[in-house]
Amino acid sequence: MGNLRWVHLVLVAICLPIVQLLVLYFYTIPSTLTDKRRRHLPPGPRGLPFVGNLFDLSDSELVRQKAQNWFRQYGDIFYTKIGGTDYIWLSSPRAVRDLLDKKSSIYSSRSPAPFAQDVASGGKRQLFMQYGPEWRQLRKTSHSLLNMQSAIKYQPIQDYESKQLMIDLIQDPENFYEHNRRYSSSVIMYVTYGYRLPSWEHPLVKKIFSVLDNLTEMTAPGAHVVDSFPSLASLPQWLLGNWRSHAKKVFQYDSKVYLGLWRELKEKVDNGTAKECFVKGFYEQDLKKHGIDELLAAYTCGGLVEAGSETTATTLNNFILAMILFPEAAKTAQEEIDRVVGEDRMPSWDDEQNLPYVRALVKETLRWRPVNKFGMPHYTSEDDWYEGYFIPKGSVVMLNWWAIHFDPKLHHAPDTFDPARYLGKPLPAADYINTNDPYLRDHFTYGAGRRVCPGVHVAERSLYINIARTLWGFNLAKKMGANNKPIEPETEMVRGFLSVPKHFDAAITPRSEAHVQCMRREFEQEVARGGI
């Protein structure tokens, strides 16, 4: 009996993958073979049967190089396939404008995601939500609470948190990576829920970043078979690794965190103790009238934290990495800041217009290291044709910023960090998003079309004030090793969707004792006034 059981297990182990492949074939392949229009798909690298180019893109660290190489080989628009999903990569400003901007009504959706959206998010995550009335209502509400006028109201929060960040860098420069994450998380928590995270050890930090870890895992291409082959979601889940059970566990954790935050703030609004914040304004609108239930409201507010915490921190840490690798840029920025600000006070919001190189440095950081490794995905709700190429309904359309940002025809010496390239584009990034000439855009990190980042105004202010103050108060350099030789910083990113740099060594030292005293004095004054 023991031998028979062993033989049975071996047969199951051998046959199950074959059965899965056959299921994939009969569910996804025949329908594409009969469509003659697919002969006119854009050119692209050949893929493998069933999985397409999944293995080409499975290592997130190599995606940017692949995206650039394929652009050089195939041109402004090329095609790949990941599982059962067509991917169209837009690799020029013109292609982005022509499709994502001008045809936004059919290029603004998201691909079906049985794992990531339907089960793990309960269908409520706006990031994965398909384009339609529900998404438009949430977008309208979010925009009204995050537009330029609203963003100005949040400047005192960013100012206070930035001053604490400077103190954190004085007291514990080794942990700059976490200090930047605390700053960004605290700002977006205050903007959203009305309370801050004064330390990295705050119990909410662990909860928020556990949710972010779940999100990062879900968004990696090929992470879950049913998201690559959505038509398989109706099959018994045991055929596909019990994906539904795993997704339910993710939903149970994430929804508990977000419902807890929502209910706590709702109670404060009801008893009159809530501070002005996104949730307060959101709750005071007639949500039932707009068809927004409690779970959707909780995920909408939580989505702001997802969008604004790790992304801002990632850019701030990539800024420090850039200053270490390209010290001439830091030196030029410091010379400008010293000339305009002096050493008796920290840079303020009023200085921004007089610091064009610093503003250019913010733009260059976003060009050099966009916030995620894969580009910005959109999804087609109808078949379309573009320049003789067929773009099928149900395609993921990628804004390929790795190609655009590193195209030598658009950016001289693109691998070099050179803020001077943006001195001719002094306006905020939001002002260039809607320009008629797509080649006048500064960068594409905030996206395009109707899915452009709604928090761009808040993000721009966070980046400016922290980059200006860090350069004003500190010298950033490579850390010296045991043999008094500089330690080359790690330049790779952590695994996952976002462009989060791996922890790297850096020497962050105050520029003078006068700078230290000024930073301490300004923070103490804020505390004495009662903070925020």
Phi-psi region for residue 490, left (φ > 0), alpha (ψ -120 to 50) or beta?
A: beta
Please say whether the beta carbons of 417 and 405 come within 8 A. Answer: no
At CA 68, angle to CA 86 and CA 500, rounded to 5? 90
Please say whether the beta carbons of 378 and 107 come within 8 A. Answer: yes
Please say whether the beta carbons of 499 and 370 come within 8 A. Answer: yes
CA 313 to chain centroid, in Å, comes to 10
**Number of CB atoms found within 10 A of residue 1's CB:** 5
Handedness of CA 92, 95, 97, 99 (dihedral sign): negative
Interatomic CA distance for residues 243 and 231, integer angstroms:
14
Interatomic CA distance for residues 117 and 251, integer angstroms:
10
The answer to whether 518 is a known ligand-binding residue is no
Q: In degrees rounded to 5, what are phi and psi of residue 112?
A: -55, 135
Strand partners, 475: 509
Q: Which amino acid is at 173?
A: P
* Cα 191 to Cα 204, 461, 516, distances in angstroms: 15, 13, 29
Q: Which of 362, 368, 365 is nearest to 468 (CA)?
A: 362
Give SS3 for 147.
coil
**Number of CB atoms found within 10 A of residue 420's CB:** 14
Half-sphere exposure of 78 (CA within 13 A, CB side): 20
* Cα 331 to Cα 474, 479, 515, distances in angstroms: 11, 17, 16
What is the residue-wise DSSP string for 201-225? T-HHHHHHHHHHHHHHHHHSTTSSH
Strands 85-90 and 389-391: unpaired
* Six-digit token string for 403: 């190609």
Interatomic CA distance for residues 243 and 227, integer angstroms:
10
Q: Which amino acid is at 397?
A: V
Q: Which of 84, 79, 85, 52 is nearest to 67 (CA)?
A: 79
Assign 3-class secondary structure to 4-21.
Answer: HHHHHHHHHHHHHHHHHH
Q: In degrees rounded to 5, what are phi and psi of residue 82?
A: -120, 110
User: Which residues are documented as binding site?
Assistant: 453
User: Which residues are documented as binding site for heme?
Assistant: 453
